[in-house]
Amino acid sequence: MHISKSFIPILKNNPSEAKIKSHQLMLRVGMIKQSSAGIYSWLPLGFKVMKKIEQIVREEQNRIGVQEILMPTIQSSEIWKESGRYEDYGEEMLRIKDRQGREMLYGPTNEELVTEIFRASVKSYKSLPQLLYHIQWKFRDEIRPRFGIMRGREFYMKDAYSFDINDDEAFFSYNKFFLSYLKTFKRLDLTAIPMAADTGPIGGNLSHEFIILADTGESKIFTDKRIFELSGDGTPINKDSLIELRKKYEQFYAVTDEKFNKEEFENKVTEENRLITKGIEVGHIFYFGDKYSKPMGASVDLPGGKKDFVKMGSYGIGVSRLVGAIIEAKFDDKNEVMKWPLSVAPYDVAIIPMINKNDSSSLEKANNLMAELNKQNIDVIIDDTDENLSSKIKKMNLIGSPYQIIIGKKSDGNLFEFKEIGKETQNISVSDIIKIISEEKNKN
């Protein structure tokens, strides 16, 4: 891709309406454009990142055996009346009437709809567990949409739902998601800590929020620092290992402010290990038993001939919020340098040729190099404008490709000035460049 032909509307300065770095950067490099309060269009650069995040989320759902479906954005009010949430949900729900005067709504979440789909066809315990997910736009008429796509009114979410025969099996499903979330966020190069959380309007009694640390986050957290050393790596997917994993995490105090208890915190965590800080919620998992299956009559036949309501959980990841969350975690705003994790970078490599009016040789070299890299599935952006080198580098630093190659007069066509953001420049050959990037890509 050549920057002159791309739709990347870069602004000279940070837009004054943006208060946090992710919002500033996303507007500055034209990743998104606001269309009305809390509602955004996704332009090519932002869209590419979001789609890559979505794909990683999808792969990790598939890995634990969750099946992908797609439910509509518009739902009927009937099922929400059955669960009792039509009234409870309040003003965050966008209510719509169709031409027949039927009450519809733009889905803020999908527990009711997925329960209806389930109850229509699953009748026996033999079909359990059922794990279903979709990745779809949601609408919540947030009272204070802010920070760009971090707290939008329309946002993109992965939501999954589990249906099980009893508590024991349901906890197994819950724990699969617990592990899967640790892996998902790790692939996005984020450290997301599961914190015991309140269940809020979704209801139920067991819940974890996955939170990444950031000063601009809206969640207040209280934790034992040692929890950051843990990971889910190497945990096999079976009941006992997953219970062990949960125990490993739960030995350390880690809660959001709704669950905070000062005395407990001070008793459980020694002073040097205490951490009180802020974070961004990127995922949330809930177990709520028969809260929806009971009022909505979602039951299955049990082995002995009796029937029982299925036990359910739900599991969300804020796919669009993650774009902002990664920026909050990775953008060095002092030096104005973004480095996307290679797994979600809009372009793997930025090529910056020094171009002067009567000499197009560096641009030719850049084009040849791009062709070589493209053959190896390495995605490239070339700054083919005739701006000076330092302003091109500044621009590419904001776009945030993890690697940059500068092509000047001295480049002989065999060796290139290659640099990974934040590291030293090296003079290396195309094949070495390909080797470095491909190896890094394969790690994911």
Per CB under 6 A, the segment of 6-14, 313-321, 375-383, 406-414 that binds ligand ATP is 313-321
Q: Rule CB under 6 A: choose which of 23, 52, 119, 140 binds ligand ATP.
A: 140
CB nearer ligand ATP, residue 185 or residue 309: 185
Q: Rule CB under 6 A: choose which of 60, 281, 328, 348 binds ligand ATP.
A: 281
Interaction between residue 204 and ligand ATP (CB under 6 A): no
8 A C-beta contact, residue 222 and residue 253: yes
Longest Cα–Cα distance of the chain, Å, equals 86
CB of 116 to ligand ATP, least distance (A): 19
CB of 81 to ligand ATP, least distance (A): 20
Q: Which residues contact 369 (CB under 8 A, 6 or more apart)?
A: 351, 380, 405, 407, 416, 430
Interaction between residue 112 and ligand ATP (CB under 6 A): no
Q: Rule CB under 6 A: choose which of 30, 194, 318, 402 binds ligand ATP.
A: 318
Q: Rule CB under 6 A: choose which of 282, 312, 366, 381 binds ligand ATP.
A: 282
CA–CA gap between residue 385 and residue 396 (Å, rounded): 12
# binding residues, ligand ATP (CB under 6 A) = 16
Site for ligand ATP in 182-201 (CB under 6 A): 200
Interaction between residue 257 and ligand ATP (CB under 6 A): no
CB of 202 to ligand ATP, least distance (A): 6
CB nearer ligand ATP, residue 60 or residue 384: 60
Measured at the CA of 33, the angle between CA 138 and CA 157, to 5 degrees, comes to 20
Give the CA count within 13 Å in the CB-facing half-sphere of 170.
25
CB of 93 to ligand ATP, least distance (A): 12
Interaction between residue 291 and ligand ATP (CB under 6 A): no
Q: Rule CB under 6 A: choose which of 152, 279, 313, 402 binds ligand ATP.
A: 152
CA–CA gap between residue 73 and residue 110 (Å, rounded): 9
Per CB under 6 A, the segment of 8-16, 98-106, 231-239, 318-326 that binds ligand ATP is 318-326
Place of tokens 């640390």: 213
Q: Rule CB under 6 A: choose which of 176, 183, 284, 392 binds ligand ATP.
A: 284
CB nearer ligand ATP, residue 171 or residue 210: 210
List residues bridging with 220 in a β-sheet.
Answer: 278
8 A C-beta contact, residue 368 and residue 62: no
Interaction between residue 52 and ligand ATP (CB under 6 A): no
Q: Rule CB under 6 A: choose which of 103, 141, 142, 387 binds ligand ATP.
A: 142
Per CB under 6 A, the segment of 128-136, 151-159, 303-311, 388-396 that binds ligand ATP is 151-159
Contact positions vs ligand ATP (CB under 6 A): 109, 140, 142, 151-152, 155, 157, 200, 281-284, 316, 318, 320-321
